[in-house]
Chain A
Amino acid sequence: MRGTWLLMRRAINEVIRVPGAAIPGILAPTLFLLGLTAVFGKLTLLPGFSTSDFMAFILPISVMQSATFSGAATGVNLARDIEQGWFDRLYVSPLSRQALLAGHVFSASLRALMPITAVVTIAVIFGVSIQGPDSLLLAVLLAAAFAATVACYATILALHFRTQQAAPLMQAGAFMLVLFTTSYAPLDLLTGWFQEVARYNPVRFIVEGVRQMSVYGVDWTHTWRALAALAFLAVFFGTLAMRGLVRASDPKA
Chain B
Amino acid sequence: MIQNARVVAALSMRSLRQAFRRPQFLMPIIVFPSLFLTVNVGGAGRATDIPAFPDVAGFLDFELAGAIVQSTMLSAVSGGIALALDIESGFMDRLIAAPIPRTAIVVGRLATTAVMGVIAGVWFVSIGLIFGAEIQGGVPGALLVIVFAAATAAAWGGFGAALALRSGTVSVVQGIFPIVFVIIFLSSAFFPANLLLEPAKSISDWNPMSFIAEGIRDPIVSSISAEPVLEAVAAIAGVMALGALLSIWGLRKRLAT
Which A residues lie at the B interface, using CB under 8 A? 27-28, 31-32, 34-43, 45-46, 165, 168, 172, 176, 179-180, 183-185, 189-195, 197-198
Contacts and interface: CB of A to CB of B under 8 A. Distances in A.
A28 B185 contact: no
Contacts of B197: 37-38, 41-42
A224 B247 CA distance: 56
A39 B200 contact: yes
Interface in B37-91: 38-47, 49-51, 59
Contacts of B35: 172, 176, 179
Interface in B165-199: 178, 181-182, 185-186, 190-191, 195-197, 199
Contacts of B24: 165, 168
A184 B186 contact: no
Contacts of A40: 44, 47, 190-191
A195 B41 CA distance: 11
Given A39-B190, A168-B27, A176-B35, A183 B185 contact: no
Given A185-B43, A192-B45, A35 B181 contact: yes
Contacts of B190: 39-40
B45 A191 contact: yes
Nearest to B38: A194
B185 A39 contact: yes
B123 interface: no
Contacts of A191: 41-42, 45-46, 59
Contact of A180 (B39, B44, B46, B47): B39
Given A28-B178, A38-B197, A46 B185 contact: no
B173 to A, nearest CB: 15
Contacts of A42: 47, 50, 191, 195-197
B39 A183 contact: yes
Interface residues on B, range: 20 to 34
Nearest to A36: B185
Contact of A190 (B27, B43, B182, B186): B43
Contact of A39 (B42, B51, B196): B196
A184 B178 contact: no
Contacts of A172: 31-32, 35
Contacts of A31: 178, 181-182, 185
A27 B178 contact: yes
Interface of B: 24, 27, 31-32, 35, 38-47, 49-51, 59, 178, 181-182, 185-186, 190-191, 195-197, 199-200
A177 to B, nearest CB: 11
Contacts, number: 91
B42 A190 contact: yes
B45 A190 contact: yes
A41 B200 CA distance: 11
B41 A38 contact: no
A194 B41 contact: yes
B185 A38 contact: yes
A183 B35 CA distance: 13
B128 to A, nearest CB: 14
A172 B178 CA distance: 15
A41 B60 CA distance: 18
B158 to A, nearest CB: 24
29 contacts: A27-B178, A28-B178, A32-B181, A35-B182, A36-B185, A37-B197, A38-B185, A38-B186, A38-B199, A39-B200, A42-B50, A42-B195, A45-B50, A45-B51, A46-B47, A179-B39, A180-B39, A180-B42, A183-B39, A183-B43, A184-B39, A185-B44, A185-B46, A190-B43, A190-B45, A192-B41, A192-B42, A194-B41, A194-B42
A43 B42 contact: no
A194 B43 contact: yes
A194 B185 CA distance: 23
Nearest to A196: B42
Contacts of B39: 179-180, 183-184, 194
A28 to B, nearest CB: 7
B130 to A, nearest CB: 13
B70 to A, nearest CB: 12
B49 A46 contact: yes
Nearest to A40: B44
